[in-house]
Amino acid sequence: MSALPVTTAAMAATRDGYGNALIKLGSTDPNVVVLDAGVSDSTRTNKFAEKYPERFFNMGISEGDMVCTAAGMAKCGKTAFATSFICFLLGRSMDQILVSVAYSDSNVKIIGTHAGVAIGEDGPTAQAIGDVSYMRAVPNFIVICPADAVEAEKAIIAIAQRKGPAYVRLGRGNVRTIYDDSYKFEIGKASVVAEGNDAAIIASGIMVQESLAASEVLKKEEINVRVVNMSTIKPIDRQAIISAAETGTIITAEDHNIYGGLGSAVAEVISEEELGVKFGRIGVKDQFAESDSQKVLFRKYGMDADAIASAVRTLKN
């Protein structure tokens, strides 16, 4: 069985899955190198540093230098992972990412942690809500936002086996474990984690667990909702969206601005394929959040399970 029941699932952060994947990669591929911008405890790259110190490079608070160094290593045959908090990693090094990684088609994996308003108390300057939009628009990059630690680990291993640029978006807080070890991650393929034909919720990252909780609420009202984990946002799984459209209603759910991210990507497919469905977006509504707990912020900004369930009811009526 690939998906675990929501009520009995364990908890772990997607960044923990990243740390676990690096250990596995380090043991099998001597060309894997890891760079971090002085936050290795938080990004979980410290696990790799402890085991393979000769292949770990703490670049300090110098994200642009880190990205360029990673690109140089990649040109020398290394698989380079450049890691930091998203707000710093993208905010301070987009020029280097564009030129040294994307334009040069370098084998660099940009790994950003602490995504979205889910980081809570760190406040709006640290809550990365536009990163998917940035990276989706950069040529040569794939963009992945795993739903749990198991998927994060498998996604990191998958991008290591694929040459070229990749961006992976990871969270800080613990999320429910959705998958077990039998789960097969494939770049560009969505995963249905709850079946239903009355409506479809297409979600990414932490919003997959909120969507699963919403589906349980709706099931009690005899509304059976399909929940699709769209962990690869670029290239997006067009067929999964076409299949979801058979329900007549699609809602996207993401811990990101509703502009430019998963919602926009799904809307593009709906338009291009002329699917003719009812469509809505759950996410940050083009505003800065404040500093508070994830639970409080998700409720205040209409991103929790209750808000998702409400959106399904409204669209279907």
Please give the pLDDT value at position 121: 86
Alpha-carbon distance of 230 to 241, in angstroms, equals 9
Concerning whether 63 is annotated as a catalytic residue, the answer is yes
The architecture that CATH gives domain 191-316 is 3-Layer(aba) Sandwich (3.40)
Homologous superfamily (CATH) of 9-176 is Thiamin diphosphate (ThDP)-binding fold, Pyr/PP domains (3.40.50.970)
Please give the pLDDT value at position 8: 47
Q: What is the dihedral of CA 44, 46, 50, 56, to 10 degrees?
A: 110
Please give the pLDDT value at position 120: 84
Please give the pLDDT value at position 9: 62
Radius of gyration (Cα) for the chain, nearest Å? 19
**List 63, 151, 210, 254, catalytic entry:** 63
**Domain ranges within the chain, ordered by starting residue:** 9-176, 191-316
Q: Which residues of the chain have pLDDT under 50?
A: 1-2, 5-8
- Judge if 9-176 and 191-316 fold alike in CATH terms: yes
CA distances from 168 to 47, 90, 151 (A): 18, 12, 11
